[in-house]
């Protein structure tokens, strides 16, 4: 295929409301407990999510280490690809935290 044939392709628009619900469901399936706008593991905060105002995106804070007052990595989810990357990163960190205990 040449570039002219791909010119009409566009990914579906990102729907942050639907993405937020999908992420919540997936995070619960991974064993995290939902607490307000965030999720915790064994009583320690792991992740916080919220819709961004005025932009089709989600703001996410992901704990670097499992702690009562964690340091946060800030992420922005603006596409289905970002959503998958976030879930992959959460799975990787959960595996690491479970090995540490």
List helix spans (H) across the chain: 3-6, 16-29, 80-100
Enumerate domains of the chain plus CATH numbers. 13-100 (3.30.720)
Span 68-78, mean pLDDT?
95
Residue whose C-alpha is closest to residue 97's, from 55, 61, 49, 43 = 43
Global pTM value? 0.84
Angle at 65 between CA 50 and CA 85, to 5 degrees: 50
Q: What is the pLDDT of residue 76?
A: 95
pLDDT digits (tens, 9 = 90+) for 23-67: 999 999 999 999 988 999 999 999 999 999 988 999 999 999 999
User: What span, in angstroms and rounded, lies between the C-alpha atoms of 56 and 77?
Assistant: 9
Q: What is the pLDDT of residue 12?
A: 82
Q: What is the pLDDT of residue 3?
A: 53
Six-digit token pair at 42?
């064994």
Would you say residue 5 has pLDDT above 70?
no
Higher pLDDT: 48 or 3? It is: 48
Q: Is the dihedral of CA 82, 33, 74, 92 positive or negative?
A: negative
């Amino acid at each position: 295929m040449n570039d002219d044939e791909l010119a009409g392709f566009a990914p579906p628009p990102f729907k942050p409301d639907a993405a937020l619900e999908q992420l919540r469901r997936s995070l619960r399936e991974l064993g995290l407990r939902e607490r307000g706008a965030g999720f915790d593991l064994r009583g320690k905060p792991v992740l916080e999510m919220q819709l961004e105002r005025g932009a089709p995106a989600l703001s996410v804070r992901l704990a670097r280490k499992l702690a009562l007052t964690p340091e946060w990595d800030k992420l922005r989810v603006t596409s289905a690809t970002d959503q998958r990357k976030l879930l992959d990163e959460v799975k990787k960190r959960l595996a690491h935290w479970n090995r540490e205990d």
